[in-house]
Amino acid sequence: MTILVTGGAGYIGTHTLIELLQAGHQVVVYDNLCNSSRIAVQRVEEITGKKVDLIQADICDRQSLDQTFSTYEIDAVIHFAGLKAVGESVEKPLTYYQNNVSGTATLCEAMSAAGVKQLVFSSSATVYGDPQSLPIREDAATGATNPYGRTKLFIEEMLRDLSISDPAWRIALLRYFNPVGAHPSGLIGEDPQGIPNNLFPYITQVAIGQRQTLSVFGDDYATIDGTGVRDYIHVVDLARGHLCALERQNSNPGLLTVNLGTGQGYSVLEMIKAFATASGCDIPYQVVARRPGDIASCYADPSLAHEELGWKAEKGLDEMCRDGWNWQSRNPHGYKPAV
Ligand code: NAD
Ligand code: UD1
């Protein structure tokens, strides 16, 4: 198949490109590079030995989308493109609704016009808000707590309506839990701009000495040690899930909503300990106040993904930490040259 990968230069996108290319698919990356680098796509070419066309354009630009669909014979779209910083979404909600929600509507219009009706969408466990019970199943109540999360919820609803309006659409809504780690080659990985918002890249930057101390946001939650519990999933496992979703769509039309998580939760202190062991580095930390909007625990019931996609996460916490450290230590400045 030929797959258009929006946001394909980003963290999860690049890892998915590798899985697609290694499975024999052709890929075309469509990315405005607002949060990524051309070098990441070149590294994918280096790892796979295959050529990747990169179109630097915006999903809100209908003309560029139409041009892309007329240049390539696209069979399906994996749609990663989106803004994802929770704090920024609170400050600039309209930017998030415009980029994520309107951008997705424009993409779907262009797909429809081109007769391409197979779509895999990056949703998030953030749509569950503060879960009422654990592990979280796909039929749990939804309710996001910030504009970023609401863009994911609105897009999910929009795609459900689209699927009802035209049963020819094949749509997978993949709800990711917390992707971490990197490709084992150490050539690609997460490269946050500025101060990382998320735990794992913050830990790796403390380990490499770029940041002095990790702030642990609260130790008074009702969890194993009082710190927040999340379902961390190796990004290569997550990437593989997209391939399984595409394969399932080939024999099943309609819409599927599925969790991609491991089912296993780890606390912040457990993560610090595991990373220190894998890297051999000390991770100094101090406990500070809770982060507003945070929840105590969040982990998936991943059984539907196993039943429907034949997928389950295979890599454990040690591999997440080992591969994350391999990437960070080999690329202390990410894709940027050393200054
Ligand atoms: P990322 O920022 O590394 O990748 C997103 C890519 O989309 C970037 O390369 C960026 O340049 C591109 N992009 C953004 N807006 C665009 C636009 N208007 N037009 C074209 N390209 C655009 O993020 P990621 O971590 O790889 O996440 C990929 C997707 O998965 C996002 O939709 C994100 O919301 C979702 N997601 C991520 C996580 C996570 O923790 N990383 C968790 C759940 C869901
Ligand atoms: C955050 C986002 C969520 C998004 C997810 C994946 C918020 C409120 N939520 O969730 O919408 O879907 O990332 O991108 O931003 N922690 C620290 N110190 C840090 C950073 C994090 O102690 O410097 C703790 C957090 O309190 C949490 C855990 O580490 O308990 C994981 O945090 P993070 O990586 O930001 O993920 P989420 O909280 O799941």
The pLDDT tens digits of the residues spanning 170-181 come to 999 999 999 999
Which residue's CA is the nearest one to ligand 1's atom 44?
124
Cα 84 to ligand 1 centroid, rounded to whole Å: 6
Residues 6 or more apart whose CB falls under 8 angstroms from that of 144 comprise 126, 127, 129, 150, 152, 153
Angle, CA 31 vertex, CA 159 and CA 252 arms, to 5°? 35
pLDDT value of position 339: 64
Residue 69 has pLDDT above 90, yes or no: yes
> Using CA atoms, how far apart are residues 65 and 85, in angstroms rounded to an integer?
25
Query: Nearest C-alpha to atom 26 of ligand 2 is from which residue?
Result: 217
Q: Which CATH class is domain 2-183+232-261+300-313?
A: alpha beta
The answer, yes or no, to whether any atom of ligand 1 lies below 6 A from the CB of 82, is: yes
Confidence band for 63, pLDDT divided at 50, 70 and 90: very high
Atom of ligand 1 at shortest distance to CA of 14? Answer: 26
User: What is the mean pLDDT of the segment spanning 67-86?
Assistant: 98
What would the pLDDT profile of 253-278 be if each residue is shown by its tens digit? 999 999 999 999 999 999 999 999 99
Over residues 276-288, mean pLDDT: 97
Q: Is the pLDDT of residue 81 over 90?
A: yes
What is the pLDDT confidence band of residue 318, given thresholds at 50, 70 and 90? very high
The pLDDT > 90 percentage for the chain reads 98
Catalytic residues: 148
Q: Which atom number of ligand 1 is nearest to the Cα of residue 176?
A: 43
Give 105's contacts (C-beta < 8 A, 6+ positions apart): 158
Question: How far, in Å, is the centroid of ligand 1 from the Cα of 13?
Answer: 8
**211 pLDDT higher than 70:** yes
Q: In the prediction, which pLDDT does 338 show?
A: 74
How would residue 72 be classed by pLDDT, with cut points 50, 70 and 90? very high
**Mean pLDDT over all residues of the chain?**
97
Ligand 1 centroid from CA 80, angstroms: 5
Q: What share of the chain is helix, strand, coil (3-state, %, to 5)?
A: 40, 20, 40
For the CA of 271, the nearest atom of ligand 2: 29
Residue bearing the CA closest to ligand 1, atom 21: 31
| pTM, 2 dp | 0.98
Strand partners, 216: 287
Q: Cα(339)–Cα(334) distance, rounded to whole angstroms?
A: 12
Which residues have CB under 8 Å from 276's CB, separation 6+? 207, 282, 283
Evaluate: CB of 239 within 6 angstroms of ligand 1: no
Contact between residue 35 and residue 194 where contact means Cβ atoms under 8 Å apart: no
User: What is the number of the ligand closest to the CA of 55?
Assistant: 1
Residue 36 Cβ contacting ligand 1 at under 6 Å: yes
Residue nearest to atom 11 of ligand 2 (CA): 126
Q: Which of 151, 257, 148, 144 is nearest to 198 (CA)?
A: 148
Q: Where are the domains of the chain?
A: 2-183+232-261+300-313
Q: Grade residue 41 by pLDDT with cuts at 50, 70 and 90.
A: very high
Q: Buried b / exposed e across 173-186, counting CB within 10 Å, b at 16+?
A: bbbbbbbbbbbeeb
